[in-house]
Structure 1
């Protein structure tokens, strides 16, 4: 059948397409920019017709209409792999639920039947002459979602860029049930400006960077601050191998710092799995032969990262205790983000020759009452989720320095971490370390 005729035969309105959903179904919205905004609205419109429908998403960048139109969760339950600010709001309200995962394993949850999919709804780029739709900004575990689905609905958006991939970067018209067309804006999340504190933390990490390294940056003000430092520096011939591509990388490409010429793997090509940023970044990616998307099982695999030799990984965290345990996803039991790929990159970077991984945070914060609190704690006691175990914690950085915890005894860890704690809390941390018997008696204060 001619692909254009097949397209027309499968073309439906969003309201028609979502009729395929039935009571008790699991509906998957995929991740980030693949969020199907028009289909979400249409599905929300069936609130009074359906019962017990689970919807699964990740890093949601816009209000979710199946929740907004169902405030008491009588019909829809929203489940998230990894949290955005919007997801946190729903979680805080008890209207959504977190699904813990490692990003490198996320696709396997679908493959092994742990994450059922009755209907997959994803946003894609317009069809090409061969009948293929590019996944665009989201490779991640897109293919595994679609393979697991009983039914597939594509939301075609002309603003979704075409992005070439290492693998699993498109779907053919013959493999879908329905197609809908949408002019909803693609989800965007431009990086927030770096604060002075972000710049101070970035400055502690910058001396460890060098020409020819391959770089993984997380999302947030501190990675953006580091990107600005690199863009203004004399560093050259950097490579990109990223779980999430953000605007920080755009600055590095525009300044000529990233060339990917020295990468031992995919030489000449920057690699990412999910992109989330500004419209300018999306336009930069459209049909850009110098950048490839890749599945998360590949990007985040330790075996892949190991082959990149001079690999530098930089991610944020929330708190660290004196034993070196790292929390990067919750405050007490309140879910903030998710494990995501932090542990993946900590593991893989350690395996890479000359690899260095950094987990960065401010040394302190002010609580709701304006009281200063240390982000370096004696021990975790309030239900905080441990993202990186102490046995794998690499460099930890604050505005007061960066320390490598690999191979250190408990007293050495306590000493190193207290050295980068805020000065106002160091005496109290020393007393706690003494009480916990992890402070060397002969150590000078």
Structure 2
């Protein structure tokens, strides 16, 4: 079956090399892709080869790269390997690129994922020269059938001076109808309320639009998304999942949420998937989800009939989960909607729907501040991603982590976090395998006692209590959030000096 049926755009079919030639040194390039789904498969690799050849001749050639979120080794990794990037935003998880970011070679703009599209429209990032977007098909009228992620594609197609389309035959043609692309967003003062009151409500179009005059090349591909094997839940993640699910039962009994809960959001990783596994065996029925990424655990809930509807911006499945979706794609139509990330992560909608947000963290301090992006205060891990969009605006949020890292050399509960992504004002519940600390409605002093008692590992609990006790005694006139400033980051300094906290 032909995937390019638009006569005008059908005349612009080109090779990846011919398409990549439209990208110039110094260009800002917006690409599709979110958590390894929907990224362009051919043009970035052709561009990386071109950059490598230019560098071999002694020519300077680097670009700025804008995406929805993380891509894959064939995009971020390939461009990092040839030192072809000077700026990256708003999120990346590639280890090769991470090294260049932390070495200072690549400028990294770590933005909230709901902000990146609007900030591009505001002009905060400067002009967008080229968009490279993967789609499943181009219809006779020029409309685009999106693929396995929507991300920032609408904005890149609208804002770019030139557009390159990759039409991937590997994508199921049955993806048509899975998308809801909202074209009602506007810049201030022209904004209006977004009329969405249920996760599966349609408020937009099933297609992406592009001005045909801007399309300089159409490249045909046949290549799969990047899918990572799913880490099986271990004893620790299952313990955290049990704590979280039991807490939700408590909230229902207290009358603070309905028996079918409120819409779920879960970050990527083994613990969120363990939570979904816990919900699979729990009594809750008629669940809904308003999230960023569809992982295997959400498919499990859909297949079991526990989850009625699922709104996201991308898939993030394991190879087995991806195959399950491809084999049964028709059965999911009408139950899954993929939206632009400015909608899937929109603070207005997260707050209106009353989302329950579940995200991971690197560390939390005794007062409830959370670091989800930096190791030892300075080295970026991946970025804040969408966790801030959801946590700040959620009806109820959870941050989860093992209490120890590096075989016990690092405590995830510390006197003061070395980097703050989520302030104490935005954090509701902390969970480690040791226990759960409900911080809602507590003063900083009460939060400290609860976090230490319930979340800290026994190997570090007494030291944390000692720190807080001495901080309280040191300044009787300043006991609201007491700290010993000369010691507050001492645990991190000790690790950098001695290899353990």
* TM-score interval (norm. to shorter): 0.7 to 0.9
Report what 1:181 is aligned to.
220
Deviations 1:61-80 (A, max 9, x none): 4324686477462x543514
Q: Please, which moves more after superposition, 386-395 or 79-88?
A: 79-88
The separation in 2 between residues aligned to 1:218 and 1:69, in whole angstroms, is 27
* 8 A contact 2:33–2:40 mirrored in 1: no
Query: May I ask how many residue pairs the two structures share in their alignment?
Result: 418
Give the one of 223, 238, 252 matched to 1:199: 238
Report what 2:347 is aligned to.
302
Q: Please state if 1:231 is matched with 2:301.
A: no
The separation in 2 between residues aligned to 1:379 and 1:72, in whole angstroms, is 38
Report what 1:10 is aligned to.
12
Q: 1:295 to 1:281 in 2, by over 3 A?
A: farther
Report what 1:431 is aligned to.
466
Structure 1 segment 382-397 matched on structure 2, within 5 A = 384-397=418-431
DSSP 3-state at the match of 1:315? strand
Report what 2:487 is aligned to.
none
Q: CA deviation at 1:345?
A: 1.1
DSSP 3-state at the match of 1:219? coil
TM-score (normalised: structure 1): 0.86
The separation in 2 between residues aligned to 1:6 and 1:120, in whole angstroms, is 19
Higher helix share: 2
Unmatched runs of 5 consecutive residues or more in structure 1 = 261-269, 350-354
Deviations 1:370-408 (A, max 9, x none): 55321100113xxx3311011111111111222222332
Report what 1:27 is aligned to.
29
Structure 1 segment 1-150 matched on structure 2, within 5 A = 4-32=6-34, 33-47=37-51, 48-49=53-54, 51-57=61-67, 59-64=69-74, 68=78, 71=81, 73=83, 75-77=84-86, 79-86=88-95, 87-92=97-102, 96-115=106-125, 116-150=127-161
Report what 2:365 is aligned to.
321
The separation in 1 between residues aligned to 2:350 and 2:79, in whole angstroms, is 43
The separation in 2 between residues aligned to 1:170 and 1:364, in whole angstroms, is 45
Unmatched runs of 5 consecutive residues or more in structure 2 = 55-59, 184-206, 250-258, 477-501
The separation in 2 between residues aligned to 1:140 and 1:236, in whole angstroms, is 29
Q: CA deviation at 1:92?
A: 4.9
Q: 1:294 to 1:67 in 2, by over 3 A?
A: closer
The separation in 1 between residues aligned to 2:416 and 2:46, in whole angstroms, is 48
TM-score (normalised: structure 2): 0.77
Q: 1:189 to 1:69 in 2, by over 3 A?
A: closer
User: Over the residues paired in the alignment, what is the CA RMSD in angstroms?
Assistant: 2.6
